[in-house]
Amino acid sequence: MPTLPPAWPTCTGAKRPLSVSWVPSRQLTLFDGVDAIDVELLRIIEIDARASFTQLAQHVGLTAPSVAERLRRLEDKGAILGYAAVIDPAFLGLSVAASIRLRINGADCGKFAAKVKQWPEIVRLDRLTGDDSHLALALVKDVKHLEQLIDQLTFHRATATSVILDTPTRDGSVLRAAEHAVKQTLRRATKAPKAKD
């Protein structure tokens, strides 16, 4: 499997330097219907969704309309779920983040997922396997606010809460995880015992 190009250079100023140049193998397909150019475009916009079509085109050696069409196709396929700004909760006065594990009866999971919308402090809710059925991420202004939220949740369900002290890895790369999974699959496939004739 060929080595993928280096990541888009990080930028602290208004300009996004194009210090990296690469020539993709146009025959390479890493994921279903996604070639090396698509992967490089995904890599760049995952880091910097505000990169212009012109900047992206210069980086991958295509025209801006070609890049726009590729990104539209990736959106249509569901590879790109959206574009969003990352807002610092502390800037808005939400200085405490907590993960709240909940144990909910399987029959009530759907009802709870719908009901969680009444708590705007819960910004993410994941359904889990194991003893706990859900993991909620809550953003609150202080410990008293967190206590009030926990009291509302425990009225309905058992909870276990951990305050998040730090987030050293904030933005893991989905693309990097997918590339790793492909490599692991290929590695297992090459180590599989060969069938005897």
CA-to-CA distance for 178 and 101, rounded, in angstroms?
27
101 and 134 assigned to the same domain: yes
Residue 3, C-beta contacts closer than 8 angstroms, at least 6 positions apart: none
Long-range contact list for 12-19, CB < 8 A, 24+ apart? Answer: 16/48, 16/51, 16/55, 18/55, 18/58, 18/59
100 and 65 share one domain: no
**Mean pLDDT in the chain?**
80
pLDDT tens for each residue of 47-80: 889 999 999 999 999 999 999 999 999 999 988 9
Judge whether 135 lies within some domain.
yes
Domain extent for 1: 1-85
- DSSP E strands, 20-175: 29-31, 34-35, 96-103, 122-127, 134-140, 158-164
61 touches 23 (CB < 8 A): yes
What total number of domains does the chain contain? 2
Chosen domain end from 50, 85, 120: 85
Q: How far apart are CA 125 and CA 114, in angstroms?
A: 11
Structural contact between residues 109 and 145, judged by C-beta atoms closer than 8 angstroms: no
From edge to edge, which strands make up the β-sheet containing 96-103? 122-127, 134-140, 96-103, 158-164
Do 23 and 39 belong to one domain? Answer: yes
- Residue 153 sits in the same domain as residue 130: yes
With 80 as the cut, is the pLDDT of residue 10 above it?
A: no
Whole-model pTM: value is: 0.68
What's the average model confidence in pLDDT over 155-170? Answer: 84
15-30 confidence digits (pLDDT tens): 333 333 444 444 444 5
* Cβ partners under 8 Å of residue 88, min gap 6: none
Q: With respect to residue 186, please indicate whether it lies within any of the assigned structural domains.
A: no
**Domain-embedded: residue 173:** no
**By the 8 A CB rule, do 41 and 29 touch?**
no
Strands 158-164 and 96-103: antiparallel
Query: Which one has a higher pLDDT value, 98 or 85?
Result: 98
CA distance 141 to 88: 13
